[in-house]
Amino acid sequence: MMKKVLILITILLYTIPLLTAKTVDQAGSQVLFGYVDSNAYLDFTLNQSIFPFDLLSPQVKPNMSNPLVFGLNIGSWSVISDADYFKVDISYTPLKNGSSEVDYILYFFTKGNHSFRQTIGANKTTTIDSDSIDKENNMYAIRNQNVYLALNMSNEEYEMLRSSNSSYNSGTYHSTITLTLTVGK
């Protein structure tokens, strides 16, 4: 009987700290990806810390004389595939506030600082396909490359947007960007 009581007390002493344990910190969750056969992955991540952005900011101002990319870095994108052919269709609506609309251009970098694909404007589709991406180790990969946004208007239209007697509505403008990955022709 005494042995049973000692065993019971020992078990209680070991379990009491478990019942009162507190979580002090967590490392956060991570997503793992694996595949069987063909693999295709698309990710588009917006930099939430910059939204909403000022449409009158010099960062998004159109600059038709600059041959390099200009604009506001709005996020990053990745596409990875081992398929023989794939394409990413990029489409978006203009920035809207009631009846006011502001068109913009997106620059999707594909490799490094000088290789990018420019979209052709709102309500149109721009395609980036595997034919325009280098293949390494049997994989096509664009990993965490930048995406920039610039207004798609003339300098005169931009000055009209900035003027106090502008016909553009004041307030918050919104737009939807859609990326669609299709594997195969």
pLDDT of 118 higher than 60: yes
HEC profile of the chain: CHHHHHHHHHHHHHHHHHHCCCCCCCCCCCCCCCCCCCCEEEEEEECHHHCCCCCCCCCCCCCCCCCCCCCEEEEEEEEEECCCCEEEEEEECCEEECCEEECEEEEEEEECCCEEEECCCCCCEEEEEHHHCCEECCEEEEEEEEEEEEECCCHHHHHHHHCCCCCCCCCCCECCEEEEEEECC
- Quote the tokens at residue 79: 């596409």
pLDDT of 34 higher than 80: no
pLDDT tens digit string along 161-181?
Answer: 888 777 888 899 999 999 999
Please give the pLDDT value at position 139: 87
Please give the pLDDT value at position 4: 56
pLDDT tens digit string along 41-92?
Answer: 999 999 999 999 999 888 888 766 655 667 899 999 999 998 989 999 999 9
pLDDT band at 13 (very low <50, low <70, confident <90, very high): low
| Average pLDDT score, the chain | 82
pTM, 2 dp: 0.76
Please give the pLDDT value at position 173: 94
More confident residue, 108 or 7: 108
